[in-house]
Amino acid sequence: MSLTISAKTVGYRQGHVEVRNIHPGCVNIEVWAIDPDSDLRPAENGHFVYEDHEVIGDVELELSPDEALMLAQQLIASAEAALDAASTNKVAILT
């Protein structure tokens, strides 16, 4: 199972998020930060192709199923708050 999201809503924080299963019983998340002066490109044959200077950060984490579920719940809550803030023109702040 694998999912890749290309995020470019805020140009200076653009990149890719990959979620997949590599190690048994774990959820792998990798986040690539791409230089804002570079264009986001789709993966070629399942791999991103960038020059070294275009990748300004890369983090890979292995989460337990419980940690992944906690992250998913927080992502949903944050997305709902962002949608609400967008509809009322306010800043979304979660505590």
In tens, the pLDDT along 55-74 reads 999 999 999 999 999 999 99
Task: Please indicate, yes or no, whether the overall pTM of this predicted structure exceeds 0.75.
Answer: yes
Mean pLDDT throughout 87-93?
A: 70
Together in a domain, 41 and 82: no
Report the half-sphere exposure of 78 (CA within 13 A, side-chain side): 6
Report the domain count for the chain.
2
Together in a domain, 95 and 79: yes
Mean pLDDT throughout 3-26?
A: 93
Together in a domain, 32 and 77: no
Together in a domain, 58 and 83: no
Together in a domain, 16 and 49: yes
Together in a domain, 94 and 54: no
- What span, in angstroms and rounded, lies between the C-alpha atoms of 75 and 44? 28
Place of tokens 């990149």: 15
Q: pLDDT grade, residue 86 (50/70/90)? A: confident
Q: pLDDT grade, residue 49 (50/70/90)? A: confident
pLDDT of residue 48: 81
Question: What is the average pLDDT value for the chain, to the nearest integer?
Answer: 90
Together in a domain, 48 and 58: yes
Domain membership of residue 70 as a residue range: 65-95
